[in-house]
A and B are shown apart, each in its own frame.
Chain A
């Protein structure tokens, strides 16, 4: 018997979600919608009696008939306002501004970068300019990234940490930790 590094069970039954699971559940926004606005990626894959995302949506883009239903997104109605990401009790919603580099930032070398907004309730809360380690849903290190901005609305009390990442990471990542500031 020895002290070992403990590896968690790598199944969805043990809370280990992958991008494949999201794809199967139609959780990845279509390119057409991403070209128009930032879009939510909702990691809500089971029936939970929970409605704040639906209730907060100003354009009724999140559809849920009964409180136990999963949220379904009307991609045409979503404006990417981020309120659902701030309201979600499960911290399950990222907002992906997929074409941020090309359309908004316009900084040389950042054409293929996305801005991913991640809800955050840990310390230290990342600050603008910090370099953060970026992790996927299973806790695997994807790489490092720069914090572009941090939003905290007093109404919801959940911080959104907005990081600049290559487009290829945009749907993979789900967690950040401050590496240096």
Chain B
């Protein structure tokens, strides 16, 4: 392959890519590295179009890169609809684009092996991000037998793509880079023999009569294990999903969520684009602009329709001094290109968010990154039967919960962004509260556990005193249930 979009110089990150691996994509050879997923390897080789829209056959590229959208589905070794963004490459793998129009049934796959396993745990946690890992550590310290499931091959949630040091205090690992906090939490989890970590295991259902959670673990593209897991308590820490925006061309390959760009740049060391426009000048937008510069990508502009950036001033200032323009009261009109992003048109708006005539500007870019907010991923909570409410301040549908983060489904707790969009630091503290509460409700732990929970709750209260948290606090009030211990 002549195209190689891999990054070889970075001020913060180094990548353990592993040995070279060869596979085929639509009959052509692709050289990848063992620790890459299929989608990452294809992007590195300059392939941006992964699938097609079903009626107009418009090309589509990956949007989320964390196994949540459906824009990277491909046929792998004959198996249809494989999420290529979270499936590691294997030597000799046969990867093919699917034709969504095709009316025949998928060909039976003879080489498929499915094993079944029945398992029991005190606490089963869905999601191995900052909330899930922290919950696991707290519950394990109290002596609970814990399982943590994550659909990704690399646990750590969104921490693993953060090159900046975090705000907060010592208690929340402040001053440490997100990617390093993931390592700290994972090594603490591994220090506990009573925690089983299941990467590449996707929770798919909960069967109330049996009290059983089912998950499918990928052991290789043709090998799966159906995990039938009984937990005495469950903690849902499934994080969030990035939002998109409606504008012509928003489905062109090269338009992606900010988190997807971060995954490519920072997890895999692959340049998603050479020149980008970032939509949204909140914290995610300006932080990813800085990360783009670290990865050698030119940011043409960060635009936001609001008259003020929603980002912390220090983060916004970092990119301003590097001559990256933040254009307020600007929004996207359309994205153009033949099969992939080639340019974008933006325009200014007035106080009433109406277009200012004649303010259109065309910008040549090959990437559009959307940093326009997140929505909690609550599907598992719905399966557990937790009562939900739409709370705009928290990003969408979220579960009612007690102050100890137990939902209306008894024994089912929530932590992190799945309870409402906040930050990794708050996710860590919520994980501790859910983990200690789940363990304590099983009669485990003692005064120390109670003290850990008290400190986490106090910390959250102090953190949320920040003026930026006023709305979030109001949102939480809307779904706070009376005490239950």
Contacts and interface: CB of A to CB of B under 8 A. Distances in A.
Interface of A: 1-4, 6-9, 11-17, 43-52, 55-56, 66-68, 87-92, 120-123, 125, 135-139, 156-158, 174-175
B387 interface: no
B326 A15 contact: yes
B326 A49 contact: no
A139 B320 contact: yes
Given A2-B362, A8-B324, A51 B309 contact: no
Contact of A9 (B164, B317, B328): B328
Given A46-B312, A48-B167, A137 B362 contact: no
Interface of B: 9-12, 163-170, 174-175, 177, 281, 286, 293-294, 296, 300-301, 307-309, 311-329, 345, 360-364, 425, 462-463, 465-467
B325 A137 contact: no
Given A15-B313, A89-B165, A174-B321, A67 B294 contact: no
A6 B327 contact: yes
20 contacts: A3-B361, A6-B327, A8-B327, A9-B326, A9-B328, A16-B317, A16-B320, A44-B314, A48-B312, A49-B167, A49-B168, A50-B167, A51-B168, A55-B169, A68-B466, A92-B314, A120-B11, A121-B164, A125-B11, A137-B321
B462 A67 contact: yes
Contacts of B175: 52, 55-56, 87, 89, 156
B314 A90 contact: yes
B169 A67 contact: yes
Given A121-B11, A157-B177, A14 B165 contact: no
Contacts of A91: 314, 318
Nearest to B293: A122
Contacts of B309: 13-15
B320 A8 contact: yes
B297 to A, nearest CB: 12
A49 B176 CA distance: 15
Kindly name the residue among A15, A16, A122, A135 whose own CB sees the greatest number of chain B CB atoms within 10 A: A15
A121 B11 CA distance: 6
Contacts of B166: 89
Nearest to B277: A6
A45 B467 CA distance: 13
A8 B309 CA distance: 12
B328 A50 contact: no
Given A14-B326, A51-B168, A138 B465 contact: no
B327 A90 contact: no
A46 to B, nearest CB: 5
A15 B319 contact: yes
A12 B328 CA distance: 11
A173 to B, nearest CB: 9
A31 B463 CA distance: 35
A179 B28 CA distance: 42
B11 A49 contact: no
B355 to A, nearest CB: 13
A44 B318 CA distance: 12
A121 B12 contact: yes
A14 B345 contact: no
Contact of A3 (B163, B323, B362): B362
B286 to A, nearest CB: 7
Given A16-B320, A43-B317, A92-B317, A9 B327 contact: yes
Given A15-B315, A122-B293, 18 more contacts: A12-B313, A14-B308, A15-B319, A16-B320, A43-B317, A46-B313, A46-B467, A49-B167, A50-B174, A55-B174, A90-B318, A122-B294, A123-B9, A123-B294, A135-B322, A135-B323, A138-B320, A138-B321
B316 A14 contact: yes
B308 A13 contact: yes
A79 to B, nearest CB: 20
Nearest to B306: A13
Contacts of A138: 320-321
B466 A49 contact: yes
Nearest to B302: A8
A14 B294 contact: no
A130 B293 CA distance: 20
A14 B170 CA distance: 30
A179 to B, nearest CB: 14
A113 to B, nearest CB: 22
A14 B320 contact: yes
A6 B278 CA distance: 13
A136 B319 CA distance: 12
B316 A15 contact: yes
Contact of A175 (B163, B177, B321): B321
A115 to B, nearest CB: 19
B396 to A, nearest CB: 24
B11 A8 contact: no
Kindly name the residue among A2, A89, A90 whose own CB sees the greatest number of chain B CB atoms within 10 A: A89
B321 A1 contact: no
A6 B300 contact: yes
A6 B314 contact: no
Contacts of A50: 167-169, 174
